[in-house]
Amino acid sequence: MKRLVIAAFLTALAVSAFGGVVTGSLIYPEGTEADTFLIIVASDFSSLDGAFMAPAFYPFDWTMDDALMEGEFSDTVEYFAFASKPSGGIIPTSGDPGGSYPESPFSTVGGNASGIDIPIAPSADVSGNVVYRHGYSQVYIMIYDLLQAYITGDTVLEIGPELVNEDGTFLIEDVPTGPKGIRAFEDLNMNGEIDDGEPNAWYDNYLMGVVIVGGGMTEEPELDLDAFGMKDAPRPEKFAMSVFPNPFNSRVRLAWTMARTDFVEITAWDMSGRKVATLHSGSLADGSHFTEWDAEGDNGEPIATGTYTIRMRVGDEVHSQNVIIVK
């Protein structure tokens, strides 16, 4: 198979017409055996139309002095460089070792560019933040694998939904290498899915929203839920509460949505009817809220293993849900 891939590249190099040279190297962990990498240089990763491709052989210094796809580098175009070691022939799959040139986009001078060095890794951490005026207690991040979109036109959910932090930041560790799409949404009905009418937004950038995850990644996506026509999104008409995880060991997160401003008291009770902890007491505005309970009583002592009732009083209404502590 490798011979066929190399033969295809050599054939393309023989028949293509091209002016200009782009050179660089791959920065790969020590001890790597001889492998063939695919180098892609493109100005638009939402489609590979017009992309330049070339092989890179161990020890991974590469020169793109011709193109698998006919064309010429232009000094008026900004380019993005990406490398991958396809495990399935020419087409990479999610998690194949790869990376991107950290200083992308870059430009050519007279059709030439050098020092386009690309770090290689099988995964990377993705961090960023969400901007949303309604709070973050029910805002989630999802990461989609876009490799299938190039083949079938379909995006595939790869990671999530993952709850963002209380300040809107997020960190998703060990995301497999490859082109990804990142989406945020507020789960108003708390069913773990995006439904019609729920505020949601795709991350957008100069690559039409494609985030290249892998070695050399420096991008920190920011997603603005308020900027996608959702400022007047419908709010819940009644109270709703969720508890996660349940059962839990050391900490449980309570999230709830209120349709109106009201006094809220949240307490925890054991099965004998004794109150063991007060989690919140005070007035809250309409919208989304959350709190966490670290399984400690009002006396600061750890709560024993067992079943407890979380009781939430909102005005004249009382809502209850059992939780299980396992230690």
Burial class (CB in 10 A: 0-12, 13-18, 19+), 62: buried
- The fold of the 240-325 domain, in CATH, is Immunoglobulin-like (2.60.40)
**Interval 49-77: pLDDT, tens:** 566 777 777 667 888 765 444 567 888 88
Q: Give the pLDDT score at 144.
A: 92
Q: Give the pLDDT score at 138.
A: 87
**CA–CA gap between residue 265 and residue 278 (Å, rounded):** 8
Amino acid (1-letter code) at residue 31: G
The angle subtended at Cα 43 by Cα 37 and Cα 46, nearest 5°, is 85
Asked if 51 contacts 73 with a C-beta cutoff of 8 angstroms, the reply is no
Highest mean pLDDT among 55-69, 89-103, 121-135, 196-210: 121-135
Q: Give the pLDDT score at 161.
A: 94
- Fold match flag (123-227 vs 240-325): yes
pLDDT at 11 over 70: no
**Interval 227-238: pLDDT, tens:** 654 444 444 445
Q: Give the pLDDT score at 71.
A: 62
Q: Is 197 helix (H, G, I), strand (E, B) or coil?
A: coil
Q: In what order do the strands lie in the sheet with 169-176?
A: 169-176, 123-131, 222-224
Reported as a pLDDT band with limits 50, 70 and 90, residue 130 is very high
The angle subtended at Cα 179 by Cα 177 and Cα 185, nearest 5°, is 105
pLDDT at 8 over 60: no
**Residue scoring higher pLDDT (304 or 259):** 304
Per DSSP bridges, beta strands 275-284 and 317-325 are unpaired
Asked if 111 contacts 20 with a C-beta cutoff of 8 angstroms, the reply is yes
- The fold of the 123-227 domain, in CATH, is Immunoglobulin-like (2.60.40)
**Interval 198-213: pLDDT, tens:** 888 888 876 677 888 9
**CA–CA gap between residue 175 and residue 173 (Å, rounded):** 6
pLDDT above 70: percentage of residues in the chain: 78
**Interval 135-172: pLDDT, tens:** 888 899 999 998 776 666 667 899 999 999 989 999 99
Highest mean pLDDT among 31-40, 87-96, 259-268: 259-268
Query: What global pTM score does this model have?
Result: 0.61
Give which of 123, 125, 154, 122 is closest to 141, Cα–Cα.
125
**CA–CA gap between residue 292 and residue 254 (Å, rounded):** 6
pLDDT at 253 over 90: no
Q: Give the pLDDT score at 116.
A: 92
Where along the chain do its domains lie? 2-119, 123-227, 240-325
Reported as a pLDDT band with limits 50, 70 and 90, residue 127 is very high
Cis peptide before 119 (omega within 30 of 0): no
